[in-house]
């Protein structure tokens, strides 16, 4: 009877150790799965942010180019206006 109880106790301990080991394996697999999922989400978010920043940069660059061309045109128009005023004043004198 004592021998049987001892065997049962050893089996119970062995089973408990086996279950603990299985739980460790499952926990490790779950951590890896969460880590991988988090990394994928981070990469997707980074890609979205990079795309949004690139688009914003392109818009800003286009706006600056338009302002530049407008100002260059204004300077050119100022020169033409000054030339016309000069021509009118020289013909009147």
Is 90 exceeded by the pLDDT of residue 31? Answer: yes
Task: Over range 45-63, report the average pLDDT.
Answer: 98
Give the angle subtended at the CA of 6 by the CAs of 18 and 20, to the nearest 5°.
Answer: 15
Task: Over range 43-56, report the average pLDDT.
Answer: 98
Is 90 exceeded by the pLDDT of residue 69? Answer: yes
Is 90 exceeded by the pLDDT of residue 35? Answer: yes
pTM (global) more than 0.75: no
Report the pLDDT value the prediction gives residue 93, as an integer from 0 to 100. 62
Q: How confident is the model at residue 88 (pLDDT cuts 50, 70, 90)?
A: confident
The token pair that represents 10 in the structure block: 């050893």
Is 90 exceeded by the pLDDT of residue 32? Answer: yes
Q: Residue by residue, what is the 3-state secondary structure of the chain?
A: CHHHHHHHHHHHHHHHHHHHHHHHHHHHHHHHHHHHHHHHHHHHHHHHHHHHHHHHHHHHHHHHHHHHHHHHHHHHHHHHHHHHHHHHHHHHC
What is the dihedral sign for C-alpha 68, 69, 72, 73? negative
């Amino acid at each position: 009877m004592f021998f049987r109880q001892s065997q049962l106790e050893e089996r119970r301990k062995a089973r408990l150790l086996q279950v603990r080991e299985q739980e460790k394996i499952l926990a490790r697999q779950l951590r890896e799965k969460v880590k991988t999922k988090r990394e994928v989400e981070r990469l997707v978010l980074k890609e979205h942010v990079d795309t949004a920043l690139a688009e914003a940069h392109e818009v800003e660059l286009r706006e600056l180019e338009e302002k530049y061309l407008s100002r260059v045109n204004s300077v050119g128009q100022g020169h033409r206006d000054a030339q016309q005023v000069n021509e009118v004043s020289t013909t009147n004198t």
